[in-house]
A and B are shown apart, each in its own frame.
Chain A
Amino acid sequence: MTLSFPFRFAVVIFREDGSSLGTVPIQRDWEPVHEWTRFYFQRKGELALDGNASASVLPLWEQTQGEPYCRGFRVQLEQLGCQPVAFDFPMTHFRDCASAIASRFVAQKLLREGEYFSYLVVAHPAPQEPLPSGGLTVANTSPSLPVQDAALETFLVRANPSGVLHSGDMPVFVSRRVLDEAAERTHAEEGSETGGILIGRLWRDASAEEIFAEVTAQIPAEHTSGSNVKLTFTPETWAAADAVLRLRRRGEIYLGYWHSHPVRVWCKDKACTPEAQQTCRLGKDFFSADDEAVMRAAFPRAYSIAIVANDTAFTDLTFSMFGNREGVTQPRGFYVLEEDTRAKK
């Protein structure tokens, strides 16, 4: 499951008059696109469920200007016994890198705040580097994707959609009981962020060429500290969740986490008008950089999801779900299961 970089990517920033401010090497987190690409092809049955595929990030050359100018990048995976597979990602994936670099130029007074800039992405062959000597010798012994067989249809017939479903997303089914428990805990802790760990199972419907998730339970997050804008998960939180998962002995795995957004308190603190509250982006489908960081550190696999309980003043509690779509955490739809599931083949 190694990720290699035969090329080094860099951003060239231009002022509005077309003059170049310089070329800056790109430093970004490639793991989410790597994870998503591998899972995408595992869902289609084109990669085995074990993690032993080597991956490379390759430039896609700009069609008119050609090398070294990029129009995106490709994540290519190779696995013994399978044909190589690849997914192409557009230039938009470099937008945040370019913005961050431009911000540094503003801080260095090379650009004015609010000044228009443009950018190109270039790639050059990576220099040959000697293998590091010393240090730990490690081997990736990650388990295969823990799927069990089930027919997707047996879940769909007992589920109701929630949110905006995207055809490319892995279907996720959440037990109504899980949402009820999350709502109860959110109301009990009204005014403070609270949360829990989501557990469940991954199912594979080979005939549908699909893997889907079932969230069977939520484990209330204990040993946390919370305020109206923050919820801290501690090592003791994870240890306690582990103990519950093992005690259940139902073959469940971690699927992600949920937490609440006490939007009614945020709005009150900011003295927002009712009209502003109803259209505020924080009221629904808001997932902060910190929220994403929890996913990255604790639930890095592409099948992981997060649920946010939106506690607003102008409507009943709503739920938003977020997941990895083409390497970017995005709001997504899901299905609510109104009864306990029994997988049928």
Chain B
Amino acid sequence: MGNAESLLEIPLEISDVSGQKVFSVSNAPTNNTVGELVHEMLGKMNLPRNDSSGAPLTYQARLEREGRHLNASERIGDALERGDKLTLQPNIDAGASF
């Protein structure tokens, strides 16, 4: 049987696209979803939540260990392991908004 930490919370490392903003999370709740994790980490990392028109931006978390993008609905305890590294990658437009 694992200790309390491994059952309820796990440590993770989260970075932005550039790889120059990296944050360590010591207590990601395993019962929470990936979407909830991303939502909270956007604020912690001071990444924009909205595009220039105010519409919400979508970020997907890419799991380095498996080389795949996680679904927001996946449970942290099911998809992730202790020490996993994630990158928050946005769906975002460049364009001539004139």
Interface residues of A (CB under 8 A from B): 3, 29, 31, 135-143, 146, 193, 195, 229-236, 238-239, 242, 253-254, 257, 259, 261, 266, 282, 286, 288-294, 296-301, 304
Contacts and interface: CB of A to CB of B under 8 A. Distances in A.
B90 A254 contact: no
Given A29-B48, A230-B95, A294-B92, A140 B23 contact: yes
Contact of A291 (B22, B59, B95): B95
A138 B51 contact: no
A282 B19 CA distance: 32
13 contacts: A136-B37, A138-B25, A138-B41, A236-B69, A238-B89, A239-B62, A288-B95, A288-B96, A289-B52, A297-B92, A298-B17, A300-B18, A301-B20
Interface residues of B, number: 41
Contact of B17 (A143, A229, A238): A238
Contacts of B62: 235, 238-239, 242
A297 B90 contact: yes
Contacts of B19: 143, 253-254
B60 interface: yes
Contacts of A29: 48
Contacts, number: 145
Given A232-B91, A293-B51, A141 B96 contact: no
B96 A229 contact: yes
Contacts of A291: 94-95
A29 B52 CA distance: 12
A193 B26 CA distance: 41
Interface in B71-98: 87, 89-98
B94 A235 contact: no
A249 B66 CA distance: 20
B96 A137 contact: no
